[in-house]
Amino acid sequence: MQQISPVTAKFPASARPRVGLFVTCLVDLMRPSIGFAAAQLIEQAGCSVDVPRGQTCCGQPGWNSGDRATAATLARQTITAFEPYDYVVAPSGSCAGMIKRHYVEVFVSDAAWRARAERLAAKTYELMAFLVDVRSMSSVDVQWPATATYHDSCSGLRELGVRRQPRQLLATVEGLTLVDLPDADSCCGFGGTFAIKYPDISNKIVEAKTAAIASTNADLLIAGDLGCLLNMAGKLAREGKDTAVRHVAEVLAGMHDIPAIGRTHSEVPQ
Amino acid sequence: MKITTDTFKDNARGALVNPGLQQSMAGVKRYYVPARATAMAKLPEFDALRDQARDIKNHTLEHLDLYLEEFERKVVENGGKVHWATTAAEARGAILDICQAAGAKIITKGKSMVSEEIALNAHLESAGLSVVETDLGEYIIQLRHETPSHIIAPAVHLTRADVVETFTKAHPHLPADRPMDTPEVLVAEARGILREKFLAADVGITGANFLIAETGSTVIVTNEGNGDLTQSLPKVHVVLATIEKIVPTLEDATAILRVLARSATGQEMSNYTTFSTGPKRPDDPDGPEAFHVVILDGGRSELIGTELQDSLRCIRCGACMNHCPVYQAIGGHAYGWVYPGPIGAVMTPTHLGVEKAGHLPNASTFCGRCEEVCPMRIPLPRMMRHFREEEFKLGKQSGLPKLALRLWAWAAARPALYHFGARLGVGALKVWGMGRGRLTTLPLAGGWTAHRDLAVPEGGTFQAQWAAGKRPIAAKAASPGTSESRAA
């Protein structure tokens, strides 16, 4: 008889919610491992994971640039691809926030699409919030000896209330010591197109962030949004600092074998 | 004042490399942010009070005409006079008329951002009047011919060395070897000079944090008491305020006062909170003989019923800019007009137009900290995004970022093409990376790589790998100690 995994036994197929994974454009292009980590964690939480092909981008870059038409096109595309699922989960507070908080604003003058946006918003979650608040995940079975510090990405924190959940799960990682990051809730300076349009100001803001990170003497910086992570990792590397940078999903999924962001296998231990 | 909103990027660049300014801005962050947090922590009902404050203002804005007219009735009843000004020019004119009718030579002023907005001082000075700012920060910047860089701490951009230099030049009648090495002696020096001005003034002009319809009172909050001496010593007191400062009752004013100082400086109340209700009464020992309230619209009534109505709830506490990473980085002058920080990023395009002031709502990461700390719960990022949309409709945005976004939008709406193109792009970047983990330069990405390295993509897109059948490793039990026994 086929060996039944504990998860499958606890959550037989009929009881497993179907999650549509919104992988996010940055994860899709820059660091697919985060997507696999997210899928792994969602399955661990007793759900089945599907990745609808019709997804590309949540539309936030267009929305934040004032291009409502593009935002609406991509929102309609996203809603259509994901509305068949029980839940929509994204490893990003920024993208989850766009879907959950802003899609209804995109369709301010289209009642039909606004209703569909509302329905999708109700079942859309950032990954950590989904695991802890919806699926009651209380721990992970992972070892990761390191001193780490956690940065709260702005959208996840302020739009979705993600703060306690990642710290709760990270606290159960064996060997991982979490040190408070001073001004953890201060912006890293990425802000999407802001980092490109106002690079000098963005640089000043991320300098303050890397100084705070350095003050913790942490080996590892963890956060829940790849945009922030790429920004902070890029600055830390340019400053010659040796703090490794990872997405919280990678750590909780125990992905030791992929190098930290911006690193290769041959570089310093991570 | 000279408007420099269109050279925002150059303004910011200069600010970023100005060591004195950077030192001062570090001080702003170090002081004001924890101060508010501490005050908040001491008051369990703080968030409920913010809801109440927002509701009071919302109600008032829905019935603005009613309350303004009641206010005037009460002011007149108390022996004062209200002057309605639709435009800045009318407000300036009304105030100059009052001063000239009083035969005034010397005018003292309490701090008023509206007076900056209408460029009042220059107008009065061009008519031969002497205008003295009495708020210490305003006094200092007046001597330096500068404008305020913060809405409650106008000289916050200056260091003590700047003040010493300014006082040395501006007070030549004082002994050159006098002590100037501590804040206390500098304050005492300013106090001595301003005291004479207070006593000599013919007209005192103040702003108003609140106009109260119930009693016809105006309210100012100061930490120095300069507003009190400005308004009670001269024969004439002129209050300059804008229409949205009105609240219905005394209790409404005090409800909002509970969140004002806490949000601004972390104080429970500012040192002086002064209610003025008309001119001196016959039995009063002191006070002005005439009480005038100049109420300016300045384009504000047009905002009611629009996307920007909520900005009229602002009580000018400064919390938004204290907590803003952009303001902390560049200070207030870079914003180029009267109001800096997040509220400035909304008010400036409102008053000057998005074509002239487009940089301000664009220079934001939308971190949301401003909205989070605003005692009046103003949705500042939403209004900044509204201006970005206005700008987009005008077709004003240009350059590489816009082109890149258009290309992105086009591709993202075509998933199959997007996935294909993404694989190619990622592959190309990996090849370009030549086995390195990160790049220090990349064509077209100079904005990023000037200051940061760029991680090379991992390789292969997630979608491609998933479509090819790659799946996460078999899940282990999520929580040890859950019902694994069922598997046995």
Q: A45 burial class (0-12, 13-18, 19+ CB within 10 angstroms)?
A: buried
The mean per-residue pLDDT over the stretch A38-49 comes to 97
**Residues of B in Cβ contact (< 8 Å) with A192:** 365-366
Measured in angstroms, the CA of B338 and the nearest CA of chain A are apart by 21
Q: Does A128 touch chain B (CB under 8 A)?
A: no
Written as six digits, the tokens of A36 are 């696999």
**Is the Cβ of A169 closer than 8 Å to some Cβ of chain B?**
no
CA distance B479 to chain A (A): 5
Contact B435 A67 (CB under 8 A): no
Chain A nearest-CA distance from B482, in A, is 9
User: Best mutation site among B362, B451, B483 for testing chain A: the one with the most A CBs within 10 Å?
Assistant: B451
Q: Is B64 exposed, middle or buried (0-12, 13-18, 19+ CB in 10 A)?
A: middle
Res B485: pLDDT: 32
The yes-or-no verdict on residue A50 having pLDDT over 70 is yes
Q: How far apart are CA A222 and CA A245, in angstroms?
A: 6
| pLDDT, tens digit, 9 for 90 and up, residues B452-468 | 999 999 989 999 999 99
Q: What is the CA radius of gyration of chain B?
A: 27
The arithmetic mean of pLDDT across residues A170-199, rounded, is 96
When pLDDT is averaged across residues A91-113 and rounded to a whole number, the result is 97
Largest CA distance in chain A: 63
pLDDT more than 70, % of chain B: 96
Nearest to B475 among A4, A5, A135 (CB): A5
pLDDT score, position A38: 98
Least confident range of A49-63, A140-154, B94-108, B445-459: B445-459
CB atoms within 10 A of CB B17: 10
Among B409, B437, B476, beta carbon nearest to A264: B437
pLDDT band at B227 (very low <50, low <70, confident <90, very high): very high
Cβ contacts below 8 Å, chain A against chain B, sum to 263
- Report how far residue A105's alpha carbon sits from residue A253's, in angstroms, rounded to the nearest whole number: 35
Concatenated DSSP letters of chain A: -PPPPHHHHHS-GGGPPEEEE---HHHHHH-HHHHHHHHHHHHHTT-EEE--TT-S--SHHHHHTT-HHHHHHHHHHHHHHHTTSSEEEES-HHHHHIIIIIHHHHTTT-HHHHHHHHHHHHTEEEHHHIIIIIT-------EEEEEEEE---HIIIIIH--SHHHHHHHTTSEEEEEEPPTTTTS--S-TTTHHHHSHHHHHHHHHHHHHHHHHTT-SEEEES-HHHHHHHHHHHHHTT---EEEEHHHHHTT-TTSPPTT--TTSS--
Tokens of B62: 């829905």
Does A97 touch chain B if contact means CB atoms closer than 8 Å? no
Indicate the range of B171-185, B383-397, B425-439 predicted with least confidence.
B425-439
Residue-level pLDDT at B477: 44
Contact flag A139-B480 (C-beta cutoff 8 Å)? yes
Residue in this structure with the two tokens 């790429």, named with its chain if needed? A230
Q: What is the mean pLDDT of residues A163-186?
A: 97
Tokens read off for B232: 């009670």
Q: Please answer yes or no on whether B363 and A198 come within 8 Å at the CB atom.
A: yes
A223 touches chain B (CB under 8 A): no
What are the pLDDT digits (tens) for B393-407?
Answer: 998 666 777 788 888
Distance of alpha carbon B309 from alpha carbon B303, whole angstroms: 5
A7 vs B465: CB contact, 8 Å cut-off? no
Contact status of A214 with chain B (Cβ, < 8 Å): no
**DSSP classification of residue B404:** H
- Report whether pLDDT(B480) > 50: no
Of A10, A70, A190, the CB nearest to B482: A10
Q: What is the mean pLDDT of chain A?
A: 94
The band of B473, judged by pLDDT with boundaries at 50, 70 and 90, is confident
Rounded Cα–Cα distance for residues A111 and B279 (Å): 56
Tokens of B29: 């962050």
Cβ atoms of residues B93 and B209 within 8 Å: no
- Dihedral pair phi/psi, residue B291, rounded to 5°: -130, 115
For A203, nearest residue in chain B (alpha carbons): B451
Interaxial angle between packed helices B250-264 and B19-42, expressed in degrees from 0 to 180 and rounded to the nearest 10: 130
